[in-house]
Amino acid sequence: MNEEQKKMAVRIAVTAVITIAASVVPDSVYGGSRLLHLIPYLIAYIIIAHDVFYEALHNIMRGQVFDEKFLMAFASLGAFGLGVMKDAEYTEAIAVVLFYQVGELFEDYAVDKSRRNISELMDIRPDYANIERGGKIVKVNPDDVAVGTTIIVQPGEKIPIDGVVLDGNSSLNTVALTGESLPRDVAAGSEVISGCINMTGVLKIKTTKEFGESTVTKILELVEDASSRKSESEHFISKFARYYTPIVCFSALALAVIPPLVRMGIMGLAPEWSNWFYRALIFLVISCPCALVLCVPLTFFAGIGGAGRQGILIKGSNFMETLANARYVIMDKTGTLTKGVFEVTGVHHSKISNEKLLEYAALAESASSHPISKSLQKAHGRELDRSRVTDVQEKSGRGVIAKVDGHTVAAGNDKLMSELGIACIPCHQVGTLVHMAIDGEYAGHILISDVVKDTSREAVKEMQDNGIDCVMLTGDGRKTAEDTAKRLGITKVFSELLPEDKVAKVEEVIKFRRGKEKVLFVGDGINDAPVLSVADVGVAMGAMGSDAAIEAADVVLMDDDPLKIDKAIRISKKCMTIVKENIVFAIGIKVICLVLGALGLANIWLAIFADTGVLILAVLNAMRALFVANV
Amino acid sequence: MKTKRYKIDVDCAVCADKMEQAAKHTPGVDEAVVNFMLLNMKVKFSDGADTQEVMNKVLENCHKVDEDCKIYF
Greatest Cα pair distance, chain B, in angstroms, is: 33
Q: Which of A55, A68, A298 sits opposite B14 (nearest CB)?
A: A68
A622–chain B nearest CA distance, Å: 13
CB-count burial class (<10 Å; 0-12, 13-18, 19+) for A385: exposed
* Cβ-defined contact of B12 to A59 (cutoff 8 Å): no
Query: Are A183 and A171 a contacting pair, CB within 8 Å?
Result: yes
Q: How far is CA A72 from CA A250, A327, A573, in A?
A: 15, 46, 37
pTM to 2 decimal places:
0.78
Q: How confident is the model at residue A529 (pLDDT cuts 50, 70, 90)?
A: confident
Helices (H), ranges, A520-562: 529-534, 547-552
Backbone angles phi, psi at A399, to 5 degrees: 155, -150
Is residue A293 less than 8 Å (CB to CB) from chain B? Answer: yes
Q: Give pairs for A247-254: CB < 8 Å, separation 24+.
A: A248/A71, A248/A283, A248/A284, A248/A286, A248/A287, A248/A594, A249/A66, A249/A70, A249/A71, A249/A284, A249/A287, A251/A283, A251/A594, A252/A280, A252/A281, A252/A283, A252/A284, A252/A287, A253/A280
Q: Which of A124-133, A432-441, A542-551, A556-565 is predicted with the least confidence, judged by mean pLDDT?
A: A542-551
C-alpha A435: how far from chain center? 48
Identify the residue with better confidence: A202 or A59: A202
Query: Are A206 and A190 a contacting pair, CB within 8 Å?
Result: no
Distance CA A98, CA A611 (A): 12
Q: How many CB atoms lie within 10 A of CB A206?
A: 15
CB pairs under 8 A between A and B: 56
Closest CA to A182 of A167, A195, A196: A196
**Which DSSP symbol is given to A122?**
T
* Cβ-defined contact of B37 to A62 (cutoff 8 Å): no
B50–chain A nearest CA distance, Å: 24
SS3 A14: helix
pLDDT for A323: 94
Helices (H), ranges, A288-347: 290-309, 317-324
* Cβ-defined contact of B65 to A62 (cutoff 8 Å): yes
Greatest Cα pair distance, chain A, in angstroms, is: 124
* Cβ-defined contact of B12 to A298 (cutoff 8 Å): no
Closest CA to B23 of A389, A130, A211, B69: B69
Catalytic residue among A144, A225, A332, A469: A332
* Cβ-defined contact of B37 to A104 (cutoff 8 Å): no
A241–chain B nearest CA distance, Å: 8
Identify the residue with better confidence: A178 or A247: A247
Instruction: For residue range A444-495, list pLDDT tens digits in order.
Output: 888 888 888 889 999 999 999 999 999 999 887 788 888 889 989 999 999 8
Angle A385-A391-A393 from CA coordinates, rounded to 5°: 110
Q: How many CB atoms lie within 10 A of CB A101?
A: 21
pLDDT for A597: 87
Instruction: For residue range B31-49, list pLDDT tens digits in order.
Output: 898 888 778 888 999 988 8
C-alpha A86: how far from chain center? 55
pLDDT for A11: 92
Residues 149-208 of A with CB under 8 A from B: none
Print burial letters for A599-616: b (CB count within 10 Å at least 16), e (below 16).
Answer: eeebebebbbbbbbebbb
A476 an active-site residue?
Answer: no
